[in-house]
Structure 1
Amino acid sequence: MAEHRKRSVQIWLPLLPAAVAVLLLALVVWLVERIIGQELERRAGQRVEQVAEAFADQIARALARRGAELELVAGMPALGMGLDVWQQHLGRLRHSSPAYVWIGATDLRGTVVAASDSLLLGSNIAQRPVFTEGLRGPWFGSLHAPVALVAPLQARSMRVPDELADIAMPYPDASGGTGGVLAAHLDAAFFDALRERTLGAPETQRGLQLELTDLEGKLLLGQRAPVSDASRSTLYNSAEGLPTVLEGENDGRVMLVRVGVKAFDAGLRSDWQVVAWQPLDQVLAPVRELELSILWTGGLTALILSVAGFWLSRRLARPYSELLDAVAERLDGESANAPGAVLRTITEQMRRLPRSGTGTRSELALAQLLHDASRLQAMLANLPAPVYLVDKDYRVLFWNRACERVFGWSAAEAEGRHVDEIFRDKDPNSRVRQDLRALMAVRNEPQTFQGHLVLRDGTEVWGDWWLSKVFGVDGEPLGILVQVRDLTAEHQGAERLREQGEVLAAVINAASDAVISVDMDGRINLFNPAAARIFGRSADEMLGQPLDALLPREHRGGHLGLMRRFGESSATTRPMGFGRVKGLRPDGTEIELEASISQVTVRGEKRLTAILRDVSERVRAEQALSRYQVELSELTQRLLHQEQVTTRELAQTLHDQLGQTLGAIRLSFDSVCNQLRDIALPQRAQDRLRTVNTQIDQAIVEVRQALVKLRPPLLEKAGLIAALDNEIRQRVAEADPVRLELTHDPHIAEQRWPEDVEYAAFMVAREAVVNAIEHARGTQIRVRVSGDADRLRLDIGDDGVGLPPELAEGRPGHLGMVGMRERALAIGARLQARARREGGTLITLLWTARPDSGFGALDSVRDNLLPG
């Protein structure tokens, strides 16, 4: 029997190192596949999901920002701004972002009345979807090829985009009705740039791609995922934001995530879908490379160990016969064929091998073989996740370096200790780990639990523990392999968020503005002390109540719908209404509030928060100021009208009375001189008569000049053009060497306008010419008149030093500009003074008989009024 044991030991003993190496190799490959492979696949799913959500969020934010910008400029006509100012703002908005290609506004007939870069100005787009859909309400159109803009853009040498997306909405006019449609074309290249920026550098993508589609799966932007139509249908029928692994067209697996571009602000809706995908072959390429390296290394090691074992068994059998006999003698009959018993016996004998250069050559060779086998164990020690092995009694057998880093115990300290010495439960009464051990004793399936444990230095550790039994070749469990996912940083982050929430609550309670938070049903769940003070209601009274209780009755109907529409959008904050809303106190008093609203998701539920400031006193002051301004405007008109009446009466008086008197004096004086002609008067008397004669002529000339200044005679008889021509001719000598010139459209040479309009225009032209002669220090002044029976435009330009900015609107001590503006205001005209691009000043007066037709663009003045 002993000889049989010897032969048995001599047969399988040389194979023992190779068998151990193969077992360790299989364990390492399994762990790599299990831990690193699953971790990489999980992280790939997270990354694909994050990239898809990031791209969808960036698109939604960009569209929300564009919608908010357009909604803001859409309200300008309702504030009384003219088409010229509105077009100027549209141009500035167009150049503020590369997303815009064109922004324009139409009237109710579809004719473009204002547009960025003046593109399509005057064109009719009534048949285009951007007009028909935008007239019904806020509308967003998906990507399409440019149609109407190709020729205008090419004519301006501007880039023609490949595809466009449309945003359109109606805009209100000054009376509150619909004035037309405000539309914008967005460049598809802008969204493609967002996609490239979201993906990052190509060398870090590992095949990660983004595609933008519609609800039917039609590709709009990006690279198509290599999956079949049936697989794509499965993706679009699954829940959004859930990573899905599908079979690709090339026998590979693909990780995909679909995320919808959520509805954004201004009531617009988008059917765009973002699909992020990544081939799993490229995700798991590092794992396959690591497994291949391990298999080559481990296989070569196992082969070397097998060959060396057989070689040693033949060449070195005699030096090891004592060891083999000792092993055979220690094995009893029942355990002779039990690998576990043989392994323990051999291990005990191996411990007696020399640790340094002493010993026989055979002993040193066997020690080297054991050392080579331990190199595989070292791979486990370098895994990135904490991994340790315990025996059936939960004493540590193996403790890798990640465990040392995370748990603060070295391998030397941990090995041989019971895990309860290393970890203790945060809650002393917890029985989670005891129940799990009882379950592991009767089951072979892996088990998991999430623990909150405390280390020896008091450090708290949160983690996910994954426990799996490790079995020997005889099928019996050798111990339990434990893998840990450290959640400490995540829990600490949650704790910091809780502390920040407490600080935020203190700030909200101390805020001077009202802060009110509601759920999507409009029920109040936050009502800070400032809100209680402003609305005169306590927090206990309002919590759980509908927000409509704080609104006047006429504003309650559609308020809940507006809140829900904002909650469905991707915008995080926006003003409420036009920045102001009305509130209601318990006594029925209405208050004016500046308001903004924001949204946040808490535990999967949307919360809307309004920040309100009581501006009732300021609103009353603004209303009073507005009334004063209206009264001042009316007073100015009455004063200017009185000036006209007084000027006319004074001119009439000078002409009918003083002029007649001077004429009579001239006749009487001439008669006296004729009678004295034959009388020899002293020289002194003759000199006196000549002086009186000169003074009479001078008085008559001065009266005539005063009459011309007070009421130019040609203005009433021949009209504005003739009066201005006469005025220019009379000032030529005074202006020399400055050249004065009057130009006008040929068809209005004899055109007449209302009397007060002609008078105001003449006085403005006279004041502007006098100012230019005295202060411009230029070489040329040109006056131009244009228009028709319902429209008058007057431009006065010079090439002088220009108008200082502080004088453009008038200032105390410089009443010239103030007087011109008051005369323009009195007839309902617009006046603008600005510096010319070529140098000098340009003053423009624009009057129209139909204020609802708009004033046109004052800024688009004739810069070629003066040559050069």
Structure 2
Amino acid sequence: MFEQQQLRALIDTAVDGILSISADGRVRLYNRASERIFGYSAEEVLGQDVAMLMPEHHARNHGQYIENYLSTGEARIIGIGRQVQGVKKDGSVFPLHLSVGEFREAGERYFVGIIHDLSEQMAERERTRALQEQIELIGRHSAVSEMGAALAHELNQPLTAVDLFLVAAERKLENDPDGARRIFARVREEAERAGNIVRRIRQMVERSDGEHSLFDLGQVIDSAVELCRTVSQRPDTIRIETTGPAMLFGDSTQIRMILVNLIKNALDAVGDQPRGQVVVRVRSGDPLRIEVLDNGPGVGPEFEDKLFQPFASTKTKGLGIGLSICRTIAEAHGGRLLYKAPDGYRDGLGGASFILELPQPDERNL
């Protein structure tokens, strides 16, 4: 008797929902935590089909699941536990983790379930994701803001050319139509150039949808390099070295953001020095390795430990959150972002080296 009272007290004071059903799916036990989680009182649930606590698509097949287990002994959830969905009294669907066990009493088979409500956990995860997305967006806007003057200058060049070409074409329309057509072709080229600049800016600041997919790393690197070349006074400073094509699984917008930040920082480091070099090296393998090197002055030893801390920067402009965000993105992709201190100059390089390592996609992504 004492043992039964003790067990009942434990069940009723448990934080997680505990319920038990018979082999025909009827609820035999339903504790107070279950009342709080589902919104039904024990009187409303006891003796009813447990399917009332499930979404329609699960409820429709639940009876068959039990029959299959009783006839075959093949467990799909018993002793394993998994995330499923439940339905509250008000009809709202919510996520939960369900662990199921089995016991016998007087020759009858029963199932007991322990239910952990994941609503708050999932909501917190979504809030964190949304906050991270906002921080990433701020980082992208910050990077573009730092490049704003150069971008405006570059965009103004093709627009000015378009204006001048149109004036010249107007003069030639009557007396030299062929010459006017040649000028119109130049107008189209300059308009396309302006459009490409705008496209690259939009790629940099667009909001990521958070969806991961298979993408061509080469195209993302080319896009990042072209944007940085647009704002560089000496675009030939940047070169790409790769061992061949590579596919990655992730968010291409976020990976592009990392590369733009690293290349832009490298360009800032080499400044106006006559033989400035920035190299983007890609090495295949698992993990795949992308290295951005420069021959600038490097990072002082006193600042190396602070490189990836938010709001830490050696530059007078910017928020100092670029590298911090980049490392977070790399880790969210199962990779890492590292700084490698120079060990002497090699191939004219040795100022600073940032290494982005990302895992190769597995068969499920191909």
TM-score, normalising length from structure 1?
Answer: 0.24
Select the structure of larger CA radius of gyration. Answer: 1
Bigger relative contact order, structure 1 or 2, given CA contacts below 8 A and separation 6+?
2
TM-score, normalising length from structure 2?
Answer: 0.50
